[in-house]
Amino acid sequence: MKTRITELFGIEHPIVQGGMQWVGRAEMASAVSNAGGLGIITGLTQPTPEDLTKEIERTRGMTDKSFGVNLTILPTLKPVPYQEYAEAIADSGIKIVETAGRSPEPFMPTFKAAGIKVIHKCTSVRHSVKAEAVGCDAVSVDGFECAGHPGEDDIPGLILLPCTADKLSIPFIASGGFGDARGLVAALALGADGINMGSRFMATKEAPIHDNVKQAMVAADERNTQLTNRALRNTSRVFKNEVSGKIQEIEREKGADLKIEDLAEYLSGQRGKVVFEEGKVDHGIWSAGMVVGLIDDVPSCAELISRIVREVEEIIGQRLAGLTAKVA
Ligand SMILES: Cc1cc2nc3c(=O)[nH]c(=O)nc-3n(C[C@H](O)[C@H](O)[C@H](O)COP(=O)(O)O)c2cc1C
């Protein structure tokens, strides 16, 4: 399948694996790129810019296909040397960067001087328009269904994607709630040039996380996620568990007086790391999207991507073509 996204990034299928804290390591990104999608390693999973340079090299040892690096620019409990991470990416010869969170504008000169194509992850039409204006080559549009940060507008993909299509000239990738061929066909119909998946790629053989997490996702249904940090205007969609319940309880109790310190103990990223490394699924919060309702197995990335591509051809070529034939 050829779309503006496959052409822009030189990939076989219009399927991207979004940056994922603690998950987006060399094993994950190389498996997706080897299967014909675009794998992305997550910059801040590496504790320092030097470690990121090493992880990029490790990924190169596992695939000769192109892959990208995610740089997430968000408020954090500890300050992050973003410019140093941006320079490590540029110096390593990476040609595709996915930015997320705040505007990538301050880092665009570094990326553009290195010939890097930038995809900015957005949760609103206005942010997508701004990303195009500051020189991004594509945007990834995350609807309210998504894992991680859906923003504060609560607009689901069914509305956000066509609204974005009406306003952008650069290609965009539909994100949030995608897990199978039906989603990819719908995304293309809504004006996107491909899909970005996070949660679905966590439940694959190559995802470098404990099997308990993958099995929890398989067992979950579409109601198994929860929003946290609403009152702090830094909303996160996470897998529903003991800690996410505790956070909601504190949010309810404190109401408008809630401060980040009230939640700090529960929000610590290190707790999420323990979930993924040791498989203690109730130890901390971990991002997951409503698409867990569509995840029923743990295939390899190659099996997953080839299944999606095969079923897209069946849906477009048979089911949808059959419908228009009846109309005619
Ligand atoms: C475990 C996990 C960690 C994530 N961490 C990040 C991150 O560090 N930076 C980022 O831009 N997006 C992050 N995301 C969001 C994904 O890149 C992607 O936008 C999202 O998963 C799409 O929604 P989906 O899960 O419904 O496919 C994360 C998602 C998951 C599931």
C-alpha 324 – ligand 1 centre gap (Å): 36
Q: Is the CB of 142 under 6 A from ligand 1?
A: yes
Å from CA of 323 to ligand 1 middle: 35
206 lines ligand 1 (CB under 6 A): no
CA 107 to ligand 1 center in whole angstroms: 21
Q: How far is CA 311 from CA 16, 70, 185, 202, 314, in A?
A: 17, 29, 9, 21, 5
Question: Distance (Å, rounded) from C-alpha 155 to C-alpha 144?
Answer: 5
**Ligand 1 atom at minimum distance from 291 CA:** 26
Torsion of CA 251, 255, 261, 267, to 10 degrees: 20
Measured in whole angstroms, how far is the alpha carbon of residue 41 from the centre of its chain? 11
Q: Ligand 1 centroid vs 318 CA: distance in angstroms?
A: 32
Residue 46 Cβ inside 6 Å of ligand 1? The answer reads no
What confidence score (pLDDT) does residue 328 get? 63
Ligand 1 neighbour 6 (Cβ under 6 A): no
Please work out whether the CB of residue 99 comes within 6 Å of at least one atom of ligand 1. no
Mutate-to-test residue for ligand 1 from 71, 121, 146, highest number of ligand atoms within 8 A of CB: 146
Ligand 1 pocket residue status of 143, Cβ below 6 Å: no
Specify the residue for token string 């991004």. 136
Ligand 1 centre distance from Cα of residue 199 (Å)? 7
Query: Considering the entire predicted model, what is its pTM?
Result: 0.97
Q: Whose CA is nearest to atom 12 of ligand 1?
A: 19
pLDDT at residue 327 in the model: 67
Q: Is the beta carbon of 147 within 6 A of some atom in ligand 1?
A: yes
Condensed to tens digits (0 to 9), the pLDDT of residues 231-274 reads: 888 999 999 999 999 999 999 999 989 998 999 899 888 898 99
Are 51 and 45 spatial neighbours (Cβ–Cβ below 8 Å)? no
Residues 6+ apart with CB under 8 A from 139: 119, 120, 121, 122, 128, 131, 132, 164, 168, 170, 172, 173
Domain residue spans in the chain? 4-209+297-327, 211-290
> How many CB atoms sit inside 10 A of residue 10's CB?
12
Q: How confident is the model at residue 210 (pLDDT cuts 50, 70, 90)?
A: very high
Q: Bridge partners of 40?
A: 68
Per the CB < 8 A criterion, the answer to whether 104 and 136 are in contact is yes
Is pLDDT above 80 for 88?
A: yes
Using the Cα atoms of residue 145, residue 146, residue 152 and residue 155 in order, give the sign of their dihedral: negative
> Is the beta carbon of 145 within 6 A of some atom in ligand 1?
yes
Confidence of residue 76 (pLDDT cuts 50, 70, 90): confident
pLDDT reported for residue 326: 73
CB-ligand 1 contact for 15 (6 Å cutoff): no
Top CATH class of 4-209+297-327 equals alpha beta
CA angle 46, 288, 38 (to 5 degrees): 60
Position 217 pLDDT exceeds 80: yes
pLDDT per position as a tens digit, 155-202: 999 999 999 999 999 999 999 999 999 999 999 999 999 999 999 999
Place of tokens 């504790």: 47
Question: Which pair of tokens denotes residue 75?
Answer: 């408020």
Nearest CA to ligand 1 atom 14: 20
CB 284 less than 6 A from any atom of ligand 1: no
Cα of 114 from ligand 1 centre, angstroms: 26
- The fraction of the chain above a pLDDT of 90, given in percent, is 92
Q: Is 287 in the pocket of ligand 1 (CB under 6 A)?
A: yes
Mutation pick for ligand 1 pocket among 17, 21, 118, 240 (CB with most ligand atoms within 8 Å):
21
CA 194 vs CA 45, 84, 139, 163: distances in Å:
25, 31, 11, 16
Residue 146 sits at φ, ψ, to 5 deg, of: -70, 160
> For residue 74, what pLDDT is reported?
85
Question: CB–CB of 95/113 below 8 Å?
Answer: no
